Amino acid sequence: MSQTRTFLIFAWLMVAAFLWMEWNKDHQPQPVVQTPTAVAGTASPVPSASVPSASVPGTVAVPAPMTPAQAPSVSLGNDKLTLVLDGRSITGAKLLNYTQSTEPGSPPVVLFNDNPATEFTARNGWLAPDGSDLTFLPESAARVVELPAGAKEISTSFIAHAANGVQVRRVYTLARGSYAVRVHDEVTNGGNAPWTGTVYRQLSRNPPPAKGGFTNPEAFSLSGAAWYSPENKYKKRKYPNFVDDGPLNQEVGGGWIALSQHYFLTAWVPQKDQRALFSLGVNGVTHRIEAQGPKVTLEPGQQYSSDATLWVGPKLPDQLDVITPGLELALDYGMFTVLSKPIHWLLTQLHKFTHNWGWAIVLLVVLIKLALYPLSAAQYKSMAKMRKFQPRIEQLKERYGDDKQKFQMAMLELYKKEKINPAGGCLPVLIQMPVFLALYYVLLEAVELRQAPWIMGWISDMTARDPYFILPVLNGAIMLLTQRLTPMVGMDPMQKKMMQMMPLVMMVMFALFPAGLVLYWVTNGALGLLQQWWNTKRYAQAPQEII
């Protein structure tokens, strides 16, 4: 089995896998809407708390955000992140360690922004009994709050007052080296009458146009909403399907909601023991996912606290896993998660050794080749046996001419007599394909490879195309050399010509692929060529001819 045939098998399997995943997304059962039940909150003395129900499926009555003139903004930043917030909404987020391009002076990646054309905001508010949203004002006069040198974390606080003596004090906290924003609310009823309020967390976005293309990694990454519950685990929905796939309306405790894009994630993680109603909605071009609840009733003198964490940053599996269970599933490897997660972990460990993601990919391929060597050896042994009897098969083809049925029967009889298994070289490839597909998804999803260089002056971004097309040309040369070592048994002249054209076809196609993926394939093909050359010599036998 040559590298060309291996790729053809891979291509068919990949298409089948993608079709299966798309079908599964379109036919997966929708979550069952659960009846809200009363849940206890953290308070002294204990107030009543419950999960709100949506009056209309998929919609929640949340007022429009205030304009900047009504709500003063504060800039809060650490060494990783700069946020712009007004107490209730986060309308700006810059990732200081990630630039938009590799060009010198490129600005940082921006997630949240209040530009109407690309609006992307996170909101966290309290709804009063009349449906109005409490207004938060900064507690201090500082409008720029940055992490001091040597400090472990930085905080800023806001106060919201209701007319009946209710006060909500909110504290945003950013720790050094973290993309997780901790939000702590302390609600106090200082009035003389009961007060009922509902906390909500929301992510809303005017999504960018969807990107397609077989060679574009963004086409395979989730652009849409994701959520998690201990009962139903990880679920997702692309923006175009927000309405068509039906309402969500699921009561959840210990879960999270998120909006996902290629490499980056924004996610609300409500307090684990406070249940909320998860919902999806669309208002014009704005898509949102929301966790509303619990609904709390405070008697005079009672207090209530509610905590949440907002992740605003890259999809880093080691950090996401610490925030809350299941959040690391936002690195969506699809059906290959069980293989992709350990491969991603191994790639990260190799990077600690090489300090270069390109060489880490090369070492990863070497380790995978070593682990799968017993299967490869069986494949090459089968190929050597086929090579031995290739002259006899060619003679049978000449003997029976255009009578393909007799030729096939004679060839099968030869296989049976000499105990040749023509599928012996294919089975190892089929077993290796899930590993390749799992690695393919790792290279697509790993933010660590974004703008990561391999060899300076040549490849400065592993997720971009090879600027000089050296890797695609190397891949074509490797495929050509592999073909010369591979017996083309039973092929007619047209099939042989098609196979001989494949190195050129693949070279052109790989010129459009990200360099990291082509590097994997070139390394895999080069090691496969070396293995095939060695095993061809090892199992070489004199060709058998008909006597």
What is the distance between the terminal CA atoms of the chain, rounded to a whole angstrom?
A: 28
296-307: buried (b, 16+ CB within 10 Å) or exposed (e) per residue? bbbeeebbbbbb
> What are φ and ψ of residue 173, in 5° steps?
-130, 130
Helix (H) or strand (E) holding 399: helix 390-400
| Predicted pLDDT at 56 | 34
pLDDT of 547 over the 50 cut: no
Of the candidate ranges 82-96, 167-181, 291-305, 487-501, the one whose mean pLDDT is the lowest = 487-501
SS3 of 384, please?
Answer: helix
HSE of 512 in the Cβ direction (CA atoms, 13 Å)?
Answer: 9
> What are φ and ψ of residue 334, in 5° steps?
65, -140
| Higher per-residue pLDDT: 19 or 244 | 244
Rounded (to 5) percent helix, strand, coil in the chain: 35, 25, 35
CA distances, 173 to each of 152, 252, 254, 489, 500 (Å):
11, 25, 21, 68, 62
| Higher per-residue pLDDT: 331 or 439 | 331
| Predicted pLDDT at 47 | 65
| Higher per-residue pLDDT: 313 or 371 | 313
Of the candidate ranges 38-42, 130-134, 507-511, the one whose mean pLDDT is the lowest = 38-42
User: Tens digit of pLDDT for each residue in 16-60?
Assistant: 444 444 444 444 433 333 333 333 343 444 566 666 654 333 334
| Predicted pLDDT at 99 | 95
| Higher per-residue pLDDT: 542 or 440 | 440
